[in-house]
Amino acid sequence: MRFGTVEALAGATIDIRAGEFLAIVGDSGGGKTTLLRAIGGLLPLAGGSIAFHDARGRSVRPGPRDLGFCFQEGRLLPWRTVLANVALPLELEGMAREERLQAAAGMLARMHLQGVEQRMPRELSGGMRMRVAMARALVTRPRVLLLDEPFGALDEVTRQALDEELLVLVRETGATAVLVTHSIQEAVALADRVLVLRGRPGVSLAPIAIDLPARDELTRLSVGFASLCAQVQAGLRGGRVA
């Protein structure tokens, strides 16, 4: 990826498996967000390619429902109610009004947001706004969920609570999730593998497998969790990753 004379990525090579939760960490300016947006088709490539494959290994073009996005700012439309914000992707598809509102209400319920459907975004807390943004990203039941530091602006307690909710939702829907984060702990707590982009422009290292026996409220207190965080940190610093 290039922006004028600035190179954002240098030969990043990634194979993302169906149903996997992949986290991407790296130096600021190394190209994490750029890579995520390229995967989603929001930015053109200067070189190389990005391919999607079906269960039989055939190359396919993702449809409008196949990709879901959730960004750090949430980007809710301030003039629409919570329910109308979540229903927006279905409205753009042309789904009938009652059907899309019912689907949006169901997803809000799954995000524990019953009772706020008719509120405006400005009436919600930061954590609730991010839950609404997540509901909007998931309402089309995407096959690939692209997450650009969705909880980065929240306090640590709220962030960890939303991390746990996100992991449950991804597992329930079977989506392939790709998360960009500056938090090593968040990456290790959520991901099946962690990809390190080191340097500017970012060069991809071999992904680190996250082998944890369980993912619950005690995960971050375990010795294994600390060891995996240290591996990711070593990769960022240019040390040995093994």
Cα–Cα distances (Å) from 136 to 75, 98, 116, 179, in that order, read: 10, 16, 14, 17
What is the rounded distance in angstroms from the CA atom of residue 201 to the CA atom of residue 2? 10
Interstrand relation of 59-60 and 176-180 (parallel, antiparallel or unpaired) = unpaired
Q: CA 186 to CA 158: how far, in whole Å?
A: 12
User: DSSP letter string over 30-45?
Assistant: SSHHHHHHHHTTSS--
State the residue for tokens 């369980």.
214
Tokens representing 36 are 């995520």
Amino acid letter for position 236: L
Pair of tokens at residue 106? 């169901």
Give residue limits of the domains in the chain: 2-62+143-237, 78-140
Helix 156-173 to helix 126-138 angle (10° resolution) is 10
Contact indicator for 148, 68 with CB cutoff of 8 Å: no
Residue 188 dihedral angles phi and psi, to the nearest 5°: -70, -35
**Is the Cα torsion angle 33, 207, 152, 63 positive or negative in sign?**
positive
Cα–Cα dist 80/87, whole Å? 10
Residue 53 pairs in a beta bridge with 59
pLDDT recorded at residue 242: 41
Q: What dihedral angle (degrees, nearest 10) is formed by the CA atoms of 92, 65, 74, 146?
A: -160
pLDDT tens string for the chain (242 positions)? 888 888 878 777 889 999 999 999 988 777 888 889 889 888 888 888 899 998 888 999 888 788 988 887 778 999 999 999 999 999 988 899 999 999 999 999 988 888 999 999 999 988 889 889 989 999 998 999 999 988 877 788 888 888 888 888 888 888 999 999 999 999 999 999 999 988 777 777 888 999 887 777 778 888 999 999 999 999 888 754 44
β-strands 6-7, 2-3: how paired?
antiparallel
Residue 73: what pLDDT?
74
For domain 2-62+143-237, say whether CATH 3.20.20.70 is its number.
no
Let me know if 211 is exposed, middle or buried by CB neighbors in 10 A (0-12, 13-18, 19+): exposed
